[in-house]
Structure 1
Amino acid sequence: MSKDFYKVLGLNKNATPDEIKKAYRKMALQYHPDKNKEPGAEDKFKNVSEAYDVLSDPEKRKTYDRIGSSQKLPFKNRHADFYDPFTAFSNPKGYSRVWFTENSRSGPSSSSTFSFETDDPFRIFERFFGTNNPFQAFDSELENHISIFDTPQLHFTSFPSTSKKRRFRQQAPTYKTLEITLEDILNGVTKKMKVVSKVYDDDGVEFKENERILEIKVRPGVRNDSQIVFPKAGNKMPGESCQADIIFILHEKPHPLFIRQGTWGQDLKYVAKVSLKEALCGVAISVPLLEGNGQTYRLEVSNKVLHTKSEIRITGKGLPYSTDSTTNFNSNSKKELDKRGDIIVIFDIIFPEMLSQNSKKKLNMALP
């Protein structure tokens, strides 16, 4: 009997190219020898591959439709000879040749011979899926289905598994950068960001785009490079059981006046410029505060000589303390501590470009 390639793939003769691909995708994964050890599975895998190789090629399919499957009769009864292509799987190249001989209407003495090669089923599988083993990323701890991750040639599909456990696959998180200022870190802030996620259906073919506005709540004292996680708010690609997480990485913008430092990022370094005279004789400076609105702290230095390594702390005027580097948006770990760090004032001493001889003499006499 001839092989009905349409029947092998569970299709009718009017099947579209997409339906042929979908049928092959499902059955090739179901009967692949690496996963299906049942008797006869490998033969079914070979038959499915042969059917796909013929029907997916427009010219081969046209020839097959005209000669190879017009009747459900043995080929010899239709004046055509059919040689099982899988008898050639043992050859070095892995190719099989299918021959069709058709007698013309003018009589048995006139005939046309058609032939085409079908490739090794494992090569067909590798061309289609982009890998010779799409199962390697998965273990046997799947319960009802084994999901195959999408490659450029592969859409999502699944096939039954006998394992009693199930492991859900989720795409790697999508990372986005969110810039924040020191003022945001001082007071906390809520930022809104529009995200568009692409969500494929279970067949891995159709998808829809979901647009939503995420409210990103940045708590006071949050550290640079902290992460805020929105679970299952990202893309769901073919082969994945749920949407990916979106993770916002907080990036601290440089500030024109302060540099953040300290173990928890609670302190602010401020550089005050003073003249050599002020460094030696004393100075009163106004240190700006992060609260803004022109607020300053008056710092008087009169009882000490300032030098380039001098530091003076203004207690409690820095940033709030933070002990978490990662925040899960749906968790309750958003406790804010009232304690604040310090402003650390260091000094940039400006030396005069020139001194008169008289000034030098006076300094020479005054300085130890």
Structure 2
Amino acid sequence: MVKMGKDYYDILGIKKGASEDDIKKAYRKQALRFHPDKNKSPNAEDKFKEIAEAYDVLSDPDKKDIYDRFGEEGLKGGGAPAGGGGGGCAGPGNFSYSFQGDPHVIFSDFFGGRNPFDQFFGARNGGPDEDMDTEDPFARFGMGGGGMGGGMGGFPRSFSSGMGGMGPHSSIVKKPQDPPVVHDLWVAMEDVLSGCTKKMKISRKMLNPDGRTVRTEGKILEVQIKKGWKEGTKITFPKEGDQTPTNIPADVVFVVKDKAHRVFKREGSDIVYTAKISLRDALCGCTVNAPTLDGRTVTVSTTDIVQPGMKRRVSGEGLPYPKRPDRRGDLLVEYEVKFPERLSQSVRDTIAQVLPRS
């Protein structure tokens, strides 16, 4: 059975299998109910953010598909649970999701950049109507339970079409999202061995409170590099791109790149060390003290003649497996034979007598 972690469906008050329209209606109701401008309970802000995260996942087909199959752990890069989630489904691969969005921006985007409290109920001292029913703020207009279609409970259709994208088919709701902003994230092999946190500073445009003008500000995004992550792993920060009055901000995506190492090469979860040996050692056998990623050395001996391309494997001295970070790949010792630059005639004669011609 898939361990779900957070139950995004329960957070929105819907059942698994809910339609896209049901998800929108549920978000609309819950977000208005727990918006901190209206709901003064101590946990309203946390609940409001949790609702935004649930909507961000369930409204995106790709994220929703991974969550439905692998739960929160699989969605956030923990890998598929044992058994692959049932039914032979493939795991989430290199996908990793981390909710770093601003729930207030998501709320503003959903309502077309306008404040629904001010629009419907009027403001007093800069806040929403204190007598509004937080359970269903649209009930007094005959719009309870998300009945937002055609005329919106007695309002003329021309009025409802301009109400900040409130209708599920409104063109304002379907503002285009900017394409993802992709950055390379160079990671050292030692960081892949132990895991780490990278702090990445981005610069982006932010809407001012007037909803029309923008300012430029910096933000630090914390990227959790997990043990064993492979090159090409993507970490997505939803809607952290530029804000404008007419767009949905782009997702900011970091793509893991392997930083070149001075000693090792990487082959998946294995690492390769090249040992330089003499021709004599290649023919007569040798012992190599091979380094490890964590600063130790391991002894690798061979009595065989070293053939071209020959490697020796040291189990468990490589990098962690991405989906099984408690286990590690291997250290591969490959040999590079150093040939002498010159030989005396007597040595040549001796070799000619000792070595077979074929």
Q: TM-score of the superposition, structure 1-length normalised?
A: 0.49
Instruction: Indicate the SS of the match to 2:328.
Output: coil
| 8 Å CA contact 1:145, 1:159 repeated in 2 | no
The change in CA–CA distance for 1:231 and 1:162 in structure 2 (over 3 A counts) is closer
Which amino acid letter does the alignment assign opposite residue 276 of structure 1? L
TM-aligned CA distance change 1:164 to 1:301, over 3 Å? closer
Q: After superposition, where does 1:91-170 map in structure 2 within 5 Å? A: 164-165=168-169, 166-170=173-177
Runs of 4 or more off by more than 3 Å in structure 1? 143-146, 158-164, 201-205
Match of 1:364 among 349, 352, 356: 352
The reply to whether residue 345 of structure 1 matches residue 333 of structure 2 is yes
Aligned residue-pair number: 198
**Counterparts in 2 of 1:201 and 1:193: CA distance versus 1, 3 Å:** same
- The structural deviation recorded for 1:364 is 1.8
Matched with 1:317 is 317
Aligned to 2:251: 245
Partner of 1:234: 241
State the Cα RMSD in Å. Answer: 2.9
Structure 1 residues 229-238 or 203-212, which shifts more?
Answer: 203-212
Q: Which residue number in structure 1 is paired with residue 92 of structure 2?
A: none
Distance in 2 between residues matched to 1:287 and 1:145, nearest whole Å: 61
Shift, 1:339, TM fit: 1.5
In the alignment, the residues of structure 2 paired with residue 258 and residue 145 of structure 1 have an alpha-carbon distance, to the nearest angstrom, of 52
- Given that 1:308 and 1:346 are in contact with CA atoms closer than 8 Å, whether structure 2 keeps it comes out as no
How far apart, CA to CA, are the structure 2 residues paired with 1:206 and 1:271?
58
Match of 1:178 among 182, 185, 191: 185
- Please state how far the C-alpha of 1:145 moved relative to its aligned partner: 6.7
CA contact (8 A) 1:203 1:238 kept: no
The whole-number CA distance in structure 2 between the counterparts of 1:202 and 1:347 is 65
Question: Rg larger in 1 or in 2?
Answer: 1
Instruction: Check if 1:268 corresponds to 2:271.
Output: yes
Aligned residue identity for 2:343: L
Give a deviation string over 1:267-304, Cα, whole Å, max 9, x none.
11111100000001111111110112xx11111112x0
Structure 1 unaligned segments of length 5 or more: list them.
Answer: 1-142, 147-157, 324-335
Q: Distance in 2 between matches of 1:251 and 1:145?
A: 37
How far residue 164 of structure 1 moved from its aligned partner, in angstroms, is: 4.7
SS in 1 for 2:318: coil
Normalising by structure 2, report the TM-score: 0.50
Deviation at 1:196, TM superposition (A): 2.6
Q: 5+ residue gaps in structure 2?
A: 1-109, 114-160
Structure 1 distance, partners of 2:190, 2:292, is: 10
2:313–2:333 CA contact under 8 A, matched in 1? yes
C-alpha contact (below 8 Å) 1:200/1:206 kept by paired residues = yes
